[in-house]
Structure 1
Amino acid sequence: MSTEPEPYDFSLILANSVHDMKNSVGMLIGALDELGAGETAASDPAVRDMSKLRYEAKRLNSNLIQLLSLYRINELGYALNLMENDVEEVVEECFRGKQEAFMQLQGVDSRMDLDPDLVLVL
C-alpha cells in the first residue's frame, strides 16, 4: 500500500476553472441581455456602453468555450466529424448574427457578396 499522495492533474483543475468561468460569463451575458432588452436609442452613451459590454462578454465566453473544446479534444481524442456547410450561412451566423447590433451601434454597415454555391468543410 502506497502512502504517497496522488499527483494533481493540473489540466483537469484548469479545465474545471475554465468551465466555471464560462458559466459565470454566461450568466453575465444573460443579465446584460435582460438589462438591454428594448434598447433603441443608439445615440445614447449608456446603450452604446451596454452593447460593448455584451460584445466583450460574448467574445470572452467564446474563447472559454474554445479552450474547453481543445481540452476535451486533447483528453478524449475526439475524432473529426467533417461536414459540408453553405459558406453564406456560416458567415451569416458567425458575423452578422452575433455582431450585428454592436456593429450598428458603432455605425458600421456591412454587405455580403458571396457565391451561393460556395461550400466549406467544417
Structure 2
Amino acid sequence: MTDDPRKNGKETGKGKPPVEHQFKPGNPGRPKGARSKLGEAFIEDLLAAWESQGPAAIQTVIEKRPQDFLKVVASLMPKDLNVNINQMDDLTDEQLLERIRTLDAAIRPFLDAEGAGRAAGRDGPETAH
C-alpha cells in the first residue's frame, strides 16, 4: 500500500526514521558500551532506592536473597577487565634484584628455622631450595 507513511519517506512514530534511511552501511546503531534505555532506567531506580532506603535496603537483600544481590553487582561490573598479574617485564634489573633481596630477607628466618629443626633431629620432607 502506498499510503503507508513509512514507505513514502515520512516519519511515523517516535524515533523511527523512514524505511529508506534505516540499516544503511556506516550506521552501526548504538555505540559499543552505551547503556540501553532500560539499563539507564534500572540504574536510576537503583539510585532512587539507595537514596530513600540507604544501606539498610541492600543489607536486607544480602540477608534474604544473596543470589539477587550478586546478580545486581555482576550487572554493574565491567565486562572486560584487563588484569596483568605478571608485572616483572616492566622492572629494571636493579628493581628485580631488590625484590629478590627483599624476598630472601623475608624467607631467610623460615629457612634457618627449618635447618635448625633438622639439625635437632626432627624429620621432615626434603625440599630443594
In terms of fraction of residues, the more strand-rich structure is 1
TM range (shorter): under 0.3
- Higher normalized contact order (CA 8 Å, seq sep 6+, divided by chain length): 1
Computing the radius of gyration over CA atoms, which structure comes out larger, 1 or 2?
Answer: 2
TM-score of the two chains, using structure 2 as the length reference: 0.24
In terms of fraction of residues, the more helix-rich structure is 1
